[in-house]
Amino acid sequence: MLLNFTKMHGLGNDFMVVDGITQRVRLTTEQISELSDRHTGIGFDQLLLVEPPRHPDMDFRYRIFNADGSEVENCGNGARCFARFVRDKQLTRKRTLNVETAGGPLTLIVTQNQQVRVDMGSPRFAPDSLPFIADDDALVHTLALPTETAGLTQVDVSIVSMGNPHAVLLVDDVEQAPVEALGPVLESHERFPRRVNVGFMQIKNRSRIDLRVFERGTGETRACGTGACAAVASGIRRGLLDTRTKVRLPGGTLTIEWSGHPDQSLFMTGPVATVFEGRIELE
């Protein structure tokens, strides 16, 4: 099977984007994992699959697969690449797109300067929305670590669902944060039954943060859109950040806006880029 694809990235968070509308696509978990290998495959953080919508009020269905082949609910950087992809491929001429995902519907807006603004919906903090095992909702939860890691036996996290689960830690210096050591331990912590994305946030001032994210099923990436949204949402909820905050990630900067009201949407704006077009033969 010959498969056409496009390699894209949002702030260095890179994707293999596949049109499942004009070509037939059937990929196994093993094939996706092999394609993600940066030495023997295409190399990517996630694979994005464009499909026809299942509901008449949606424009497209958007599916996301991690590098290990597991399907996940949401990806903010991927959503922005998705919006540019369907317009570049002339699958639509709309600038405002209603998109169906496993994490719920998204509204994507392509701006005049070709950035993409995403209505990410409302952040959710209830433990069962991630899910997260806890007796009640709280601004901060203390997690006991199974073994001492980076000199720590426990950590304090804020939990947020942006259609996918996030745990956010405050750190004094994001460059020195123990992402490689602590990320995998928290990703698979027993209190997160479906695993979790882990954000390490340094607050520079009330309208700017630095952030690194360890993504479940992938590892640390250069940028994570939903991670940026979750970090800012947790900071606003705790009274630490303003309603419009710049998030500097290793790959670049995103702008996150949220009023702080639980029934109002959070918005993310940032750039995307196409790297190359390709075709690969699959067995």
- The residues annotated with a catalytic role in the active site are 75, 224
Which residues 6+ apart lie within 8 Å of 60 measured at CB? Answer: 50, 51, 52, 53, 82, 86, 91, 92, 97, 99, 100
| CA-only gyration radius of the chain, Å | 18
Q: Which pair of tokens denotes residue 139?
A: 């601004």
In this structure, the number of other CB atoms found within 10 A of the CB of residue 70 comes to 16
Tell which residue, 6, 3, 100, has the closest CA to residue 44.
Answer: 6
Three-state DSSP at 104 gives strand
Amino acid at 238: R
Per-residue tokens: 282: 């699959």
Exposure class string for 124-154: b at 16+ Cβ within 10 A, else e: bbebebbbbeeeeeeeebebeeeeebeeeee
In sequence order, which ranges of the chain are alpha helices (DSSP H)?
29-36, 76-88, 179-187, 225-237
Residue 257 CB partners (closer than 8 Å, separation 6+)? 243, 244, 245, 266, 267, 268, 269
Which residue has 């950035």 as its token pair?
A: 115
264: which 2 tokens?
């109002």
